[in-house]
Amino acid sequence: MVKNMKKFSLAAGVLSASLLFTAACSSDGASGDKTSGSKGDKVVIDMFQGKVEIADQLKALTDQYTKEHPNVTFNIETVGGGADGGAALKAKFASNKAPDIFTSSGYQDAVTWKDKLEDLSDQPWVKNAYPNALKPMTLDGKVLGQPVNLEGYGFAYNKELFKKAGITKLPTTFSELEAAAKKLKAKGITPFSVGYGEWWVLANHGLNVPLAYQESADKNFINGLNEGKSKIADSKYFDDYFKLLDLTIKYGNKNPLTTDYNTQVTLFASGDAAMIQQGNWIQPMIDKITPNMDVGFIPMALNNNEKEADKLMADVPSNWVVYNKAPEADKKAAKDFLNWMVSSKEGKEALTKEFKYIPAFKNIDAKAEDIGPLGAEIQKYSKEGKTYTWQFMKYPDGAGQEFGSALQAYVGKKKSEKETLEALDATWNKLKK
C-alpha cells in the first residue's frame, strides 16, 4: 500500500521509498498553479502516484498511450504512499509544481483536497464504475476521482509452507491462527514476515481491523470519536488487536521495526516466512521473485467468533484525480488518458494482466489467471459477503502518522498497551474537526 496506503494508502500499497521517472514541470503564478507542459500541440502530462508496485507497469501503459497519441507524453513520479507520499505531494503544490494527475484515497482525503480537484462527473467512464466504488470521491453530488481498482488484505500465506507444517484447516479464528503459528515454528519455519518499520502497516491496515469490527463502525463508532462520545481505549476490539500484534511479533522475523516494506515482501516471496500482513497489491512483486508461487489469504482474526473473524478487508484504495487549475490542454489530455485506460482494449488488459488489479468497473473482466491468486481470493471473499470496509481512510487528516508512531513505540517496548491506547485517543481528539 498503500497510501493510505500503501500504500492505499495509498492505499491503501505504498512504501517509504521512491522511484523517479521524471523531471518536474515548470510553474509560476499562484501557489499550486503550473504553466502548461505543452509546446505547440505537444502536451506533457505530469503524474504523481504512490504505488511502487506498479511503477514499471504504469510507465509501459503510458508509453503505449503515447504510441497511439504521439502528441502526448508523460512525466511520472512515483513516491511511496503514507507520510512520504503525502508530504511529497503537498511539497509539490507548495513549490508551484502541481501534477496534472495525482491520487487521492478518498473520504477524508477527498475533503482535504477538494478545492484542487476537477469535477469528473461528466466523464464517459462514470457510468461503468461500480456505484460503491465512486463513494470515496463523491462530494456534494460531484464525482471528483476515478477509482483505481478494488483491493483487499489480510494475511497472505504460503500454501506449501502450511502443508509442510501439517496445517490442514485454514485458521479463521485467533486461536486457530495462534495454533498455526506454533506448528510453523515447530517445523523451523518463520510464521510471520513483519514490516513494522512502515507506519502504515500498523496505523492504517492494522488499526483498521478493530475499527471495522465495530457495530455500525462508520455511523456509531467513528462519529462517536468525532463527537467525543466514543473512546478507542474502551473498545474490546482494540485490546484484541494488541493480542494479534503481540502474536505477530512473537512469531515474526527479527528486527520488525527496521524491516521495511520491500524487505517484508521479499522475505515472504522468497519462502522465508509463511504469512504476511499485506494485500493483493503485492502479487506483481511476488511474481517477480517467485513466479507461480501458491498463495492465498486468511483473515486477521481478532477473536474466536468466526462470524466476526473470518473476513478480509476490501475497498477502493485510491483514485486518480485531475488538478483543476492545470492548463486546459493538460486537463483535457489527462481526462482523455484516464478514460482510455479503463475503456480501451490495451488499457483494460494492462490493468488486469500487468497491474494485477481487481477492476472497479463493470466493463472490465478479470479472470483469476490474470489478476493472480491473491486477487482471486479477494474476489471470492467479496462475492461471499465476507469483507470489511476500510475505515482508516476516515481518520482525521494527519492522524495516521501519529498512530503509527505510537504503535511503533509499543512494538519497541517504549509504551505500554494502556499508554498507546491513550495516545491514539489523544491524537484523534487533537486532529478531529
Tens of pLDDT, residues 152-195: 999 999 999 999 999 999 999 999 999 999 999 999 999 999 99
The rounded mean pLDDT for the chain is: 90
| Domain contains 6 | no
CB 280 within 8 A of CB 312: no
- The C-alpha angle with vertex 6 and arms to 73 and 207, in degrees rounded to 5, equals 160
Count of structural domains within the chain: 2
Q: Are both 186 and 304 inside the same structural domain? A: yes
How many helices, marked H, and strands, marked E, lie in the chain? 18, 14
Could you tell me if residue 418 is inside a domain? no
278 and 169 assigned to the same domain: yes
pLDDT at 131: 84
Q: Is the four-CA dihedral 312, 395, 245, 151 of positive or negative sign?
A: positive
Question: Which phi and psi angles does 406 have, rounded to 5°?
Answer: -65, -40
Q: Are residues 330 and 257 in the same domain?
A: no
- C-alpha cell belonging to residue 275: 504469512
- Structure-block grid coordinates of residue 273: 516466512
- How far is Cα 193 from Cα 196, in angstroms, rounded to an integer? 10
Query: What is the pTM assigned to this prediction?
Result: 0.77
Domain final residue pick, 269, 289, 315: 315
Contact yes or no for 241/302 (Cβ under 8 A)? yes
**Pair 275, 252: CB distance under 8 Å:** no
DSSP single-letter state for residue 32: T
Residue 186 domain flag: yes
CATH number of the domain encompassing residue 231: 3.40.190.10
User: Collapsing DSSP states into helix, strand and coil, what is residue 105?
Assistant: coil
| Start-to-end C-alpha separation, the chain | 26
**Same domain for 159 and 143?**
no
**101 and 233 together in one domain:** no
Q: What pLDDT sits at residue 274?
A: 98
Tell whether 44 and 84 lie within a shared domain: yes
306 shares a domain with 182: yes
Residue 385 has what pLDDT? 86
- Within a domain: 385: no
**Predicted confidence pLDDT, tens digits, the chain (433 residues):** 443 433 333 333 333 333 333 333 333 334 455 544 444 589 999 999 988 889 999 999 999 999 999 999 999 999 875 556 788 999 999 999 999 999 999 998 999 999 999 999 999 999 999 888 999 999 999 999 999 999 999 999 999 999 999 999 999 999 999 999 999 999 999 999 999 999 999 999 999 999 999 988 777 899 999 999 999 999 999 999 999 999 999 999 999 999 999 999 999 999 999 999 999 999 999 999 999 999 999 999 999 999 999 999 999 999 999 999 999 999 999 999 999 999 999 999 999 999 999 999 999 988 888 899 999 999 899 888 899 989 999 999 899 999 999 999 999 999 999 999 999 999 999 999 8
Residues 260 and 329 in one domain: no
A 10 A CB-CB count for 220 gives 13
My answer on whether 174 and 298 are in the same domain is: yes
Predicted local confidence at residue 174, as pLDDT: 98
- Nearest residue to 12 via CA among 364, 402, 391: 391
Q: According to the model, what pLDDT value does residue 84 have?
A: 61
Clarify whether residues 201 and 282 are in a common domain. Answer: yes
* Domain assignment of residue 1, yes or no: no
What's the confidence (pLDDT) of residue 179? 98
Q: 204 lies in a domain?
A: yes
One domain for residues 244 and 161 = yes
For residue range 2-16, list pLDDT tens digits in order.
434 333 333 333 333
Domain with 251, as residue range(s), is: 152-315
Query: Is the residue at 424 inside a domain?
Result: no
Strands (E), 299-424: 312-315, 319-322, 387-388
Q: Answer with the one of 315, 341, 359 that is the final residue of a domain.
A: 315
With respect to residue 392, please indicate whether it lies within any of the assigned structural domains.
Answer: no
Is 187 exposed, middle or buried (CB count within 10 Å of its CB: 0-12, 13-18, 19+)? middle
Residues 117 and 257 in one domain: no
Task: Tell me which amino acid residue 87 is.
Answer: A
